[in-house]
Structure 1
Amino acid sequence: MSKIVTVFIIVYIVSVAIFLGKVKDVITVSIANDGVKALYNKSYFNGKTTEGRNTKMLPIGENYAHILIFLQISDIHLSMFQDPGRILAFREFCNTTIDTIKPVVVIASGDLTDGKYEDGMRTKEFEEEWIIYNQTLHENGVLNKTLWLDMKGNHDNFNVHKHESGLYGKYSVQGQRQNGSYLHTVVPYSEKKWSNPSEKYSFIAVNAGLRPGPKAPWNFYGKVSEQEFVRLEEFEKIGRASNGTIWFGHYPTSFIITKTNQNIRNLMSQAAAYLCGHLHTAYGMAEHMYTVQHSGLLELELADFKISRRFRVCVFDHGVFTFTDVEHNVWPIILVTNPKNVLFNNPADLDVAKKSTHIRILVFSPAKIQSVTVQIDDGERSECRHINGPLYVLKWNPSIYLEGMHEITISASDETGRKFVTSHFFAFDDSSMSFSFLGRLALMINAVSLPYGLYFAASIATVLPLIGLRILHKLVKCHYISLRGITSGLGECGTAILRGFWVTATVNKLFIPLVILPMYLTLGPWSFDYLLDGSRGVAFAWGTFVEETFLPAAFSYVFDGCVQIFWFHIPFVCILSVCVDKRFRLLCWKEPNLSPFWNNVPLIILVVGQVLIASAVATCTGQHILFLGYLQKYSLVYGALLWFFSARLQRIHFRDAEAVWISPCRGRFIPQDQLFPSYSQETNDHES
């Protein structure tokens, strides 16, 4: 037994080392605002002026020129079964919104369709949903009005085999032309009359969809393959000749798996921004997910169109990138391009803004705009002058505002009486503000390493205490330390809790399975099932094999590993220790068992919860997993067997524990031969 304990100690010391090594990569969020701002300014400024990039900044005046307007919409989730309002809202977007804003480009960054059955659990591509998407674009003439750049998300990639493009390749706009990452270069309206325009902007789509695309829940993370990364490197070199580059994709960079020497954030660091979706609003906890990565990349996640009905209006105005996130059918839309929000300052833009002669505002509404007014700080409200299209300007002197932070408030109204007011802070010095912490956390945390860290932490928290108590028991038994010294200060309740775990650790029939389980979860396999229709796969904690392809795991650590440990194994160990302690006191201390039925109620509740989890997993991936997956069926068998053993433990099984936990009486420990005079005789009878 000592050899087994030694092996597990070594294994888990290594696990602790691995976990601590992951901690550095898990949380990469700098809390200090000044630190993030300094990183952003330094890397962004240096990146924008090296390696031959077109960095010519145009002077900002009052003319309607050098303006490129584009939109982003994400996570539309067109569904056959859920919320018909999504389809109606999407049609309005393709009709009224696009006709009003007149964007040069529209980015649809993934999850175009829902891909779920009516129960919301089972996943599959539905051709009807894709037909609705395709017909909506064609019926409203969208492709004649703008350049539509769509990219598949994980919901567009459910149950897609390795050598198939799925319905995305048949019905999407860009999927019919290429099934991977792609690049498009466009010019502003004012430049289209020239055969050799002086301005151009690049849009690079990042395809991080898994190939093959398994069913839920194995399809939550994205992956950029080596071949795809090389393709993106070529696009990045082409984009350097542009006045500005926008990267976009479905997954935030924190949810994209790449090789360690292929950092997707570094590759995109010279871009104006990376636009993505996927996280929606994190169940309402983070309405605005914006951050600047340590590489200098401005990353902007967009709330979903599915429920939030949000979309993003973006513009390059004289080379300066600005944006605003707005709610569908809320008019007028106001976008201030100069001066820009202090949250998104960078030195290159500030140099131009300091020399600008006019405040520039884009205002959009289906109805005619009646008035646009501007107020800075507590100054007077001034009426803006309409130049052309959506552009309104107001002459100003930026030198007045060179120090400190200032607030600009814009109010716009149209002829139907609709009015909208917005404001933001701007600054021309080192003044700064911070992004939302939860939003930054979601985008900057290493969500690939985090599941590994959580899983190892859960495993260590489960096993090391039992091993530690086993070692502690040996030390007490050999009189190296005293039990009285350990329990002093714990109180009656604390001592009872400690005793339950302690006694459990001394019973080999229970200790060995409880320690081996987390090791099995680490090595797997977890299930053998049809991860795609017609293709059986093997799921491990560290990855999935399906169609002769290895898909690296991340979400499976959370979905199965952490759920199994936190929701089953840890509660099970706690409940089992209580049952073992009561059995110990019944046999060794002769205490009556007053409520044998209620002792098992927590275990029954735990089993019911595990059955519900098993049912949910079976619904997602298929009924086979109930019979072929360890985590569902065999964990229940494992738990039932250990509970059966614990309920039928005999006094001989507690011999080791009894040598240490002699019942206290009147503040002292009674010698064993006085408290249990029949112990020696029972032992001799059992041995004979």
Structure 2
Amino acid sequence: MEPLCVRDALLLYFVVRDDDLGRYEEGTLKGYKPWFVHQLFPEEKVYGYKDLEVHILYHLVSWNVFLQVRYSLKDSNTVGFLNIETLLYEHLPDYVCSCMEEFKRKVAEPFPIDRYLSTWQIILPRQSLCSDAKVYVQNVTQTTATEIYHRFKLLLLFFIETASYIDWEDDKWDMFVILSLHEEILGFAAVYRFTCFDKSENTWNPRERVRISQFLIFPCFHRKGYGISLLDAIYRHYMETSCLEITVENPCQGFQTLRDILDTKNCLYLEKRLGYLPSVEEIRKEWKITRKQALRCREIIRFSRLQEEEETNTFRIGIKKRLYLEYAEQMASLDSVEARKAYLWQLYKEIEETYRKLVIWAVVIWSLAFLLHFPCKYKIAEEVFTTNPLEDWSLQLQGIDHLLQISDIHLDPKLEENSKKLSFFRNHVVPVIVPKAVLVTGDLTNGKKDTTNNWFYLFLGHPSSKRLDEWNEYYVQTQEYRHKNASVLWSDVRGNHDSFGVDDMIQDDDLFQRYAVEPQPKNAVSFHRFSEQNDIKLVKYSPYYRYSLHRPFHFFARTNNEELQLLMQASLAEKKEQVVIVYGHFPSSTIDYTVSETFWRTFLRFFWWSRSILSRKFYSYPNYVIYLSGHLHSVLGFLPRMYCKCGNYMELELADLYTSSVYRWIVIDHGNFAFSDIPIQQNIFAVVTNPVPLSSSTKRSQAFALSSKYIRLMVASLESFWDRNLTLGNVEVFIDDKKIGIAKKMENDMLKSSSGSNLFLCAWNPMSYLEGFHNLVVQYCFEESCMTMISTSFSLQSEQRYHYSCKDWIRCLMLFADAPVVIKGLCLIGLLLYGILVHIPYFSTGSCWLPSSWIVFGKRLSFVRKTRWRVSQVLFYNFLLGPLLILFRVTGDDYHNCTGYMFFFYTFVCGEIQASYLEMYNLLLQQLWFACIPSVCLDIYRCYLKQDEKPTNENTCHENKFERRKSVLFALRYWSPHKSICLLYGLVILYQLGILLRYVGCFGFWSCLCSPLLSLVFFYSCL
């Protein structure tokens, strides 16, 4: 028999999920060939077998092993024969299953993982791509460590070229095991501690060195970040000991790449802390790595920053000098100078290619798209290598910044409560929080005309107007924030109520430009930046208006490509830790971008992807973008807490100060964004910054929470700030209705003198909350009474799917749906439904211009025909003309002085079809009342007064038209109903004229005259 290649006959299977055994029996479970077999089979061949198949199954939860050897023929007399079963049993544990039924039974039995790992020390990886992994360490002399090693030691020979079994009786060996949240073993490592001779001091150094001897991640978990997690945990464990140096024994190329990435990240963090690129000795002392590895890390950093030719030449010469010393013997063996130069050049190109691949692998592993903030030849992100500090960040008192947000103040002399609320906020809340900035997101004034004792507006409603008294009140209230040296930045944004009747947003008649703290620039985007505690970038977004429209035509904002490009550029984070906050008045759902899109793109987006423009642009942005807005008033209080996330975009709408009396406290703690919406009447309130609530959590904040030892929350009390003798009560923390403890107040001299907000810490174990969602409640207890300051939920799983309730879906719809596209699409759908349900049955009695199939279908809708209320052609054409104007964009000249025409079927303002709110306004307030109801009244009149004659031949189009005209002539003999309907339409036309004068303004005699005349002509043409 021909010898067989062992690597082709041997397959390893790793059983993880419950259905993996079924997939194995079906032949669909992936098997892995061993990389090396020379230690068991020196020739890598087996003799005496035909059709040999060897399968080894490892169950990674219960750690059971199953061996199956199948062959069609076995000849033990063959030269070189080796019993493969006997050989494998020598390297497998004693309790290997040889029967599939036995293996299934053992797998189904509960495995006491807690009993095995109860004595192990747990290590949470500091920088892990996988937040669902945890590492355990124990000395190998312990029983459980020895048992784990014996169960999986055969894999070492298959996947490590020079592997050999360790001496488990030597207490110098430490065993590291990495497990997932579901208790599946993902890999392990063996580390040896030893002492060696110190040549510099010419003596034996009593401090131990560490050598990573064996490091294995099972092949089914490769390229998932578990290797970097395990290596980082090993580093973290020995950094806390008196270890002198961490080394590696004969690293393979893959492990060396992993090691280079992690060590280079540590070096870059040290550079960030020191302010310069550290020397080799500084790197060795800080991170306990070898001199050669520290030099390699410096070279990688310098290589990633090569920009100019001079820098490249200097780098190349330095590398060649090092290579000349390392390869001195090879250099001496070469005869000529040219040969030595060629050999050095070859060595340099190999190192350059190695460093280039290493940098590319770093980008692939971390999957980052950020560029270096300094010039970089290969455009490598510095943050690829940056690590978090080793010390516990959750104990630090620094690194905290505060912001405040209010929205929709609606100052009005008649509404004194609004002025009192703003005054209370300025005088009581701002001094307590001491924010970096106060963000006022629009609607500073009410902008409604005083209609007291004016009966004419009782029916028409409150018209809008520019009111100087409202702006004077706002100017006086914000006087202290207007000088350059103000301690707090007061940044106000224009709202729709601040723009009523403004012809040009940068002219003198614009009261916002004259009285706002921050006048609007010519560009729609501007930004501020703070970098003391946290790197914060505040981007103000205020879409630019062009027309002097009044209510209600200013409900939607309009933007274009130029403004969006400016916003995208300003929102790009310059480095990973930077927090980018965009704030504006309008939620993204109310920003109309359809003016910059073609009709067909808008039409297709309604049926396929009708998401708002900002959520589409920022969904896959390189950094997280938080957008703060107002305007919707939480849908009149029916939908509080309107927060929603979509990819890297997070939108938070704030309820108004006008009716809801709410402001927002934002805390940025070590780059993590947290907030709380607080009623203005609440005296004591809190914000939980760790763990960050679900509404603003990110992968970064979850990684910070996993590496923390304390729950962090900021607590502020208005009463205790103004009365220093008043002591605070206890702050108690509950998770899932279980009391975690009492949070302790952390103070220092700076915190005491700067603000009334206090940092409270409560010890916790994040490993107890790794799965699912958890509710966190903070209660304030004073004497015998307790009150809930904040109740929120959090999750520590980055890939956890959120379970949205019905209200959550409505909130996301209100924030992320592209309202202009949705409204246009609903208008089109309404037109189609009306044409099918109403208009076709009306003509199905014999109209010859309709297709026969439509007539047959219309006749089936008997419930419409039986009512005999046939809605007239007026209603059909009324709905038809409006959407047609939307579809084909019938526009006139774009005059700066606005013109407007208002029919009972549509409103034509400013020389072009306006934003989508106008379309909804036309449908609900004009088409329904001015067209539908009078048309139905006309149909009732015509149907009930033409009973004496009926058409005799319904199949003839000419006769049908004659009978219809005859019935109208018959109806005209009844003067009273016809006169009433004409009078009704006359009132409707006068009401249209009143609305035209109220909302748009008087645009001249002909504009006002054409509207009622055209309405009358259109009405009588349909009789």
Q: State the TM-score, normalizing by the size of structure 1.
A: 0.72
Q: Does 1:341 align with 2:711?
A: no
1:328 CA drift (Å):
1.0
Q: Does 1:366 align with 2:723?
A: no
1:265 CA drift (Å):
3.2
The one of 772, 786, 789 aligned to 1:404:
772
**Structure 2 CA distance for aligned equivalents of residues 203 and 271 of structure 1:** 13
Q: Does 1:633 align with 2:974?
A: no
- The answer to whether the Cα contact below 8 Å between 1:332 and 1:414 also exists between their aligned partners in 2 is no
- Match of 1:245, SS state, is strand
Aligned to 1:318: 670
The one of 166, 169, 174 aligned to 2:518:
174
1:603 CA drift (Å):
8.6
Q: 1:183 to 1:48 in 2, by over 3 A?
A: farther
- The answer to whether the Cα contact below 8 Å between 1:248 and 1:276 also exists between their aligned partners in 2 is yes
The one of 462, 466, 488 aligned to 1:125:
466
Aligned to 1:280: 633
Q: 1:341 to 1:599 in 2, by over 3 A?
A: farther
- Match of 1:111, SS state, is coil
Matches within 5 A, 1:180-259: 180-188=524-532, 191=533, 199-237=534-572, 239-240=574-575, 243-258=578-593, 259=596
Tell me which amino acid in the other structure corresponds to 1:382.
G
Tell me which amino acid in the other structure corresponds to 2:867.
I
- The answer to whether the Cα contact below 8 Å between 1:69 and 1:104 also exists between their aligned partners in 2 is yes
- Match of 2:823, SS state, is helix
1:463 CA drift (Å):
4.7
How many residues were matched structurally? Answer: 573
The one of 158, 161, 179 aligned to 2:503:
161
CA-to-partner distance for each residue in 1:259-298, whole Å, 9 max, x for gaps? Answer: 34994334444334100011112123212211123x5311
- The answer to whether the Cα contact below 8 Å between 2:547 and 2:910 also exists between their aligned partners in 1 is no
**Structure 1 CA distance for aligned equivalents of residues 913 and 849 of structure 2:** 49
Aligned to 2:867: 497
Aligned to 1:150: 492
- The answer to whether the Cα contact below 8 Å between 1:626 and 1:632 also exists between their aligned partners in 2 is no
1:390 CA drift (Å):
1.5
- Listed as ranges, the gaps of 5+ residues in structure 1 are 1-44, 192-198, 505-510, 646-688
Aligned to 2:402: 69
**Structure 1 CA distance for aligned equivalents of residues 1009 and 562 of structure 2:** 35
Q: 1:621 to 1:417 in 2, by over 3 A?
A: farther
**Structure 1 CA distance for aligned equivalents of residues 822 and 858 of structure 2:** 35
Aligned to 1:682: none
**Structure 2 CA distance for aligned equivalents of residues 48 and 202 of structure 1:** 23
1:524 CA drift (Å):
6.5
1:427 CA drift (Å):
2.2
Q: 1:48 to 1:438 in 2, by over 3 A?
A: farther
Q: 1:625 to 1:478 in 2, by over 3 A?
A: closer
1:46 CA drift (Å):
11
Q: 1:211 to 1:102 in 2, by over 3 A?
A: same
- Match of 2:528, SS state, is strand
**Structure 2 CA distance for aligned equivalents of residues 62 and 485 of structure 1:** 74
- Match of 2:948, SS state, is helix
Aligned to 1:289: 642
**Structure 1 CA distance for aligned equivalents of residues 616 and 916 of structure 2:** 22
Q: 1:134 to 1:624 in 2, by over 3 A?
A: same
Matches within 5 A, 1:9-24: none
Q: Does 1:305 align with 2:638?
A: no
Tell me which amino acid in the other structure corresponds to 1:126.
R
Q: 1:472 to 1:587 in 2, by over 3 A?
A: closer
- The answer to whether the Cα contact below 8 Å between 1:152 and 1:209 also exists between their aligned partners in 2 is no
Q: Does 1:521 align with 2:882?
A: yes
The one of 800, 806, 816 aligned to 1:444:
816
**Structure 1 CA distance for aligned equivalents of residues 499 and 855 of structure 2:** 59
Aligned to 2:430: 98
Q: 1:309 to 1:487 in 2, by over 3 A?
A: same
1:124 CA drift (Å):
2.6
- The answer to whether the Cα contact below 8 Å between 1:221 and 1:554 also exists between their aligned partners in 2 is yes
**Structure 1 CA distance for aligned equivalents of residues 638 and 492 of structure 2:** 27
- Match of 1:144, SS state, is coil
- The answer to whether the Cα contact below 8 Å between 2:831 and 2:879 also exists between their aligned partners in 1 is yes
Q: State the TM-score, normalizing by the size of structure 2.
A: 0.50
- The answer to whether the Cα contact below 8 Å between 2:899 and 2:1003 also exists between their aligned partners in 1 is no
CA-to-partner distance for each residue in 1:336-380, whole Å, 9 max, x for gaps? Answer: 111222344332221111111100111111222322111222323
Q: Does 1:391 align with 2:759?
A: yes
- The answer to whether the Cα contact below 8 Å between 1:334 and 1:412 also exists between their aligned partners in 2 is no
Tell me which amino acid in the other structure corresponds to 1:378.
D
CA-to-partner distance for each residue in 1:52-102, whole Å, 9 max, x for gaps? Answer: 38866665412211111101111111123x311101110111111101111
**Structure 2 CA distance for aligned equivalents of residues 552 and 633 of structure 1:** 21
- The answer to whether the Cα contact below 8 Å between 2:989 and 2:1015 also exists between their aligned partners in 1 is yes
CA-to-partner distance for each residue in 1:477-523, whole Å, 9 max, x for gaps? Answer: 999799999878947xx54425745xx5xxxxxx4x55544454356
Q: 1:54 to 1:244 in 2, by over 3 A?
A: farther
**Structure 1 CA distance for aligned equivalents of residues 853 and 678 of structure 2:** 66
CA-to-partner distance for each residue in 1:465-488, whole Å, 9 max, x for gaps? Answer: 565246633379999799999878
**Structure 1 CA distance for aligned equivalents of residues 409 and 641 of structure 2:** 17
- Listed as ranges, the gaps of 5+ residues in structure 2 are 1-363, 372-380, 452-460, 602-611, 721-727, 748-756, 952-965
- The answer to whether the Cα contact below 8 Å between 1:239 and 1:245 also exists between their aligned partners in 2 is no
- The answer to whether the Cα contact below 8 Å between 1:288 and 1:301 also exists between their aligned partners in 2 is yes
Q: Which has the higher contact order (CA 8 A, sep 6+)?
A: 1
**Structure 2 CA distance for aligned equivalents of residues 536 and 85 of structure 1:** 36
- Match of 1:322, SS state, is strand
CA-to-partner distance for each residue in 1:287-337, whole Å, 9 max, x for gaps? Answer: 2211123x5311111111111111111111111111111111312111111
The one of 68, 85, 90 aligned to 2:417:
85
**Structure 1 CA distance for aligned equivalents of residues 786 and 982 of structure 2:** 60
Q: 1:601 to 1:565 in 2, by over 3 A?
A: same
- Match of 2:426, SS state, is helix
**Structure 1 CA distance for aligned equivalents of residues 505 and 926 of structure 2:** 34
1:637 CA drift (Å):
2.6
Q: 1:162 to 1:244 in 2, by over 3 A?
A: same
- The answer to whether the Cα contact below 8 Å between 1:181 and 1:207 also exists between their aligned partners in 2 is yes
1:160 CA drift (Å):
1.8
1:112 CA drift (Å):
1.1
Q: Pick which of 423-432 and 249-258 moved more.
A: 423-432
**Structure 2 CA distance for aligned equivalents of residues 265 and 485 of structure 1:** 42
- The answer to whether the Cα contact below 8 Å between 2:448 and 2:464 also exists between their aligned partners in 1 is yes
For the aligned residues, what is the CA RMSD?
A: 4.4
Q: Pick which of 396-405 and 300-309 moved more.
A: 396-405
Tell me which amino acid in the other structure corresponds to 1:329.
Q
1:164 CA drift (Å):
2.7
- The answer to whether the Cα contact below 8 Å between 1:363 and 1:412 also exists between their aligned partners in 2 is no
Q: 1:409 to 1:201 in 2, by over 3 A?
A: same
Tell me which amino acid in the other structure corresponds to 2:473.
I
Tell me which amino acid in the other structure corresponds to 1:339.
P
